[in-house]
Chains A and B, each alone.
Chain A
């Protein structure tokens, strides 16, 4: 069977599921952000694949470009939060930072 749209969508779904799994199991905040990057990449693969096989335009490419730009913003703010967390709590484990817990 020659490679077509479903193959690319399957790769995207795999990356997405791996990212969800990482976000549910990781305690380290930096590793959580890596899970987010996996999810965004899985979504991007879908955008570009559908753009290639169904739409034939560059609309999907533009959507993926905006996702990459927002991922850069998200990484900057997220890692700044991680550093502030490390400075204030001395840890990067998300389940030990529970000062607001009643």
Chain B
């Protein structure tokens, strides 16, 4: 029974923080709420016996992706446009669509007779995952490393500093600023 309480705790943490991610006007608040969502999901993984995945979620998502997101928020901050306005014209159709989507999914989830069997005791999964990754899943495993390499190179190319061409407008400005006497004498 205590497992149920733990489930409801982590699920509430993930979903409530998810609401903050969606509705927070300040992007920094949304980013920090995303951290609590990720922690809640990691707790759900641990509850499901996926110990390796819970740790991976914590390390990769919270330690990597979230820091990246917060850096991006920091580097693209525009004080004047900090609060992005969202009109009702967009909220209403999106809300209707999202609620309808959830209602449909919930109906399917509760209406389906899942072939559930007793999961038994949770055993450590790290060894099984390692064996699977190097036998049955070796091609997707290697391919993922290739994808990560390509993404890394692509990101570096996308954000590299481009040398601007010869500064024609700068010279113009310098000419105007350069002789203040001209303006005074006239």
Chain B residues near A19: list those with CB within 8 A.
18
Partner of B11, one of A2, A5, A11, A18: A11
B171 within 8 A of A: no
Complex Cα gap A54–B3 (Å)? 19
Closest to B104 in A: A13
Closest to B57 in A: A68
Interface bits A23-34 vs B (CB < 8 Å: 1, else 0): 011111011011
A interface majority secondary structure? helix
Complex Cα gap A19–B48 (Å)? 23
Chain B residues near A83: list those with CB within 8 A.
72, 75-76, 158-159
Q: How far is the CB of A82 from chain B (nearest CB, A)?
A: 6
Interface size on A, residues (CB 8 A): 71
Q: Are A48 and B50 in contact, CB atoms less than 8 angstroms apart?
A: yes
Q: Are B64 and A72 in contact, CB atoms less than 8 angstroms apart?
A: yes
Q: Are A54 and B117 in contact, CB atoms less than 8 angstroms apart?
A: yes
Q: Are A68 and B86 in contact, CB atoms less than 8 angstroms apart?
A: no
Interface bits B23-48 vs A (CB < 8 Å: 1, else 0): 00001001100100110010011001
Closest to B19 in A: A18
Q: Are A8 and B44 in contact, CB atoms less than 8 angstroms apart?
A: yes
Max chain B C-beta neighbours (<10 A), residue from A15, A71, A77, A80: A80
* Cross-chain pairs A/B with CB under 8 angstroms, 18 sampled: A3-B7, A10-B106, A13-B106, A15-B14, A21-B22, A21-B97, A27-B86, A28-B27, A30-B27, A31-B84, A37-B38, A58-B125, A61-B53, A69-B148, A71-B61, A72-B65, A76-B151, A81-B158
